[in-house]
Amino acid sequence: MERKSCNVAHGDGMGISLLHAIPCHIPPMHIDCHAQTQFPGTAAQAFALCIDSARFPQWFRGYGPIAAIERIATDGAPRVGGQRTVYSADGSVLHERISALDPPHHHAYTLSGFRPPFSWLVREGTAAWQCSAHEAGTQVCWHYSFTLTSALAWPLAKPLLAIFMTAAMRRCLDNMMQALSLEDD
């Protein structure tokens, strides 16, 4: 947690305000989640799974209060500026805008359109996927950075995202790894 000084004004009893700094803790405005695993096969095979909008919902099954994905609609082939609409099991409809696409290594997007109560905590999420050759397969790293609506959201958003979203991401990667293992058999 970041340590800053907060300016505090108080009266001196004679109508004069005194301003001085006292140390205080200001929670960060971003919460990061990270999951990674090693997939069998090539970076191209792993990358293809990461951007497979038709099959991705079967791998992202959520975790606790993080809803599973039911389906994803796209506006065409993946490309920078392309959009995907994500339909979640809780009825929410989220919007992804692809911000980077460098097959077979990098894919990034911004996620928005959260509904209450999540929207009271999080303004948007930015995700980045990296696929890189590693030993007998491909290292897949998935990173999310969530922008909070306010520093006041941090005490609730931190455990929700750090525990449940990270677990959902790990579960998704495990499901993808198993799918790729079955394809290789």
Residues 103/89, Cβ–Cβ less than 8 Å: no
* pLDDT recorded at residue 6: 38
- The Cα–Cα gap between 123 and 99 comes to 17
The rounded Cα 113 to chain-centroid distance in angstroms is 13
Q: What is the pTM of this model?
A: 0.83
Q: Is residue 9 part of a domain?
A: no
* pLDDT recorded at residue 18: 45
Fill in the amino acid letter for 59: W
Q: Is residue 117 part of a domain?
A: yes
Q: Give the number of domains in the chain.
A: 1
Q: Is residue 10 part of a domain?
A: no
* pLDDT recorded at residue 173: 97
For the chain, which ranges sit under pLDDT 70? 1-28, 184-185
Residues spanned by the domain of 139:
29-184
* pLDDT recorded at residue 171: 98
Q: Is residue 6 part of a domain?
A: no
Query: Could you report the per-residue pLDDT of 83-104, keeping only the tens digit for each?
Result: 999 999 999 999 999 999 999 9
Residues 123/110, Cβ–Cβ less than 8 Å: no
CATH number, domain with residue 65: 3.30.530.20
* pLDDT recorded at residue 134: 87
